Every structure is written in C-alpha cells, then in structure tokens.
Amino acid sequence: MPPEAAMDFAAQGLPHQEERVRRLNERYRHHAATAVLEGALRDPDAGKIAMVSSFGAESVALLHLVSMVDPETPILFIDTEMLFAETLEYQMELTERLRLKNLRVIRAADQDLEAEDPDGTLHQFNTDACCDLRKTRPLQRALGEFDGWITGRKRFQGSTRATLEFFEADGPHRIKVNPLAHWTPEDVRNYMDENRLPRHPLVAKGYPSIGCAPCTSPVKPGEDPRAGRWRGEDKNECGIHFVDGKMVKGDAS
C-alpha cells in the first residue's frame, strides 16, 4: 500500500472501525476467496495485513492462496511449545514447498512462562490461562504492527463461526479477514486435491482440527470437527478470536 494511501486507523476509534468493516464487506461481498485476499492485501481500507496460521488440518489451502497472491505476506505462526511434532514438521515442509518468504514464529515470553507455567502443567488445571499465556498474548504482541490479520476460519466449523463475514472488527483498531468464510468442506478438499497439496499427517489419524497435543484428541465419525478440542470442557475456542472476553462472530455492521 502506498504511504500516501495509508490510514491512521488507531487514531480513528471504533466508529470509524465499524464503517471500515462495512465498506470492505460491501465492496467484496460477491467476490471469490482469491479476490477477497487480494483486496485485503492491497485495499487502503484494509491497511497493513498479516496472516495468522496454525499450519493445521486445513491451513494449506489458504497458505497456498497467499503464496500465489503475495509470498512476501507476513505469516505469523504461534509455537505454543506444546504442539504435535507432526505440526512442526508440517510447518517446515509447507514453508519450503510454498516458498513462503516471511514466516515469523512467535512464542510466549520466557519471563511469562517462568512466572506462570514454570513446570508446563498449567493446561492440566486451567486451559483458558494456558491459551492466554501461550497463544493470545504472544499473538497480540506480534499483531501490534498490523492493521488486520487473515484467518482460515469458515462458517461450517461450528456454531460460533456460523455467521462469519469476509471482514470483521477485531477490537477498536484492527480487522480480521476471513477469505474462506463461505467455503464448504468439499471446497477445501477439492482445492487441496486440484493443487496437489500435502495433508497434515494427523488428519488421516482422525484429527480434523488440530491444536496443542495435550488438549487435542481424535474425532469420531459424525462428531463436530472441533469436538476433539478441549474435549470434556465447556470450551471450543482458544481465545485468539475473542475481544474483551467475548467471541467475535461477525462484522460490526
């Protein structure tokens, strides 16, 4: 984005944020995922954008799209240091195969880990606190230089995502971009097949949604794809998609 087109979104406050999201959704409402992604990376209303990827079960589809549109896009990968070994290997494989040129691995600060989870057992008795320590706060720090971020969320992934739009407010100063919001499971599979993209190795073992190893279990046929995340708890989101403790479900318009 040219410097003269840049906007000081933080100085505008929430009312401008709502208008910004409304304009973007109206502008790209009938566009396909690639056009939405191109718009997010080039539209002055979107600002400076990064992609956040878990390198999970379906991540390769959006990572491939980003690599085709702009391989210099910053890719933020949160290493909680509790991920499956297969996820770390998959991340390295995709980064090389897709020629992603700006991967940024982010982790919790050492001093925070020492103070809040010195023995690595926090997840056993407070999963919300563990997610906040190892995912939410590191991501918020990394996003400090950006006006928005691209996610791979889709409407079919659960009730909390059923009303997703392409663009949504993420607090008063940032937006989230969901280029694949309207994709179905078949769309994802077809895209991966057509482009011969490698699957996460755990998908074949019954993991349609993959998070940290201690908090992710296989899913039985017929279960919600995210049923294996924090199984047995009243929890289905890690917290990175919350603002002021509330789930962001759609745009502000």
Has residue 50 been placed in a domain? yes
Whether 13 maps to a domain, the answer reads yes
**pLDDT tens column, 75-119:** 999 999 999 999 999 999 999 999 999 999 999 999 999 999 999
In the prediction, which pLDDT does 12 show? Answer: 44
CATH code assigned at 124: 3.40.50.620
Per-residue pLDDT, averaged over 135-157, amounts to: 90
Note down the domain range covering 77.
3-247
Domain presence at residue 252: no
Q: Which of 44-58, 111-125, 155-169 has the lowest mean pLDDT?
A: 155-169
Q: What band does 2 get if pLDDT is binned at 50, 70 and 90? A: very low
**Residue 233 is assigned to a structural domain of this protein:** yes
Distance spanning both ends of the chain, measured CA to CA: 25
- Give pLDDT, residue 162: 60
Instruction: Report whether pLDDT(56) > 90.
Output: yes
**How far, in Å, are 41, 91, 211, 216 from residue 238 at the CA level?**
26, 20, 9, 12
Burial class (CB in 10 A: 0-12, 13-18, 19+), 31: middle
Q: What is the pLDDT of residue 172?
A: 82
pLDDT of 233 > 80? The answer is no
Q: Quick check: helix, strand or coil at residue 206?
A: coil
Residue 130 bears catalytic tag: no
| Domain contains 174 | yes
| Number of domains into which the chain is organized | 1
- Using pLDDT thresholds of 50, 70 and 90, give the confidence band for residue 239: low
User: Sheet containing 103-106: which strands, arranged edge to edge?
Assistant: 103-106, 75-78, 49-52, 148-150, 174-177, 167-170
253 assigned to some structural domain? no
Phi, psi of 103 (to 5 degrees): -80, 130
- Of 59, 61, 63, which is closest to residue 73 (Cα–Cα)? 63
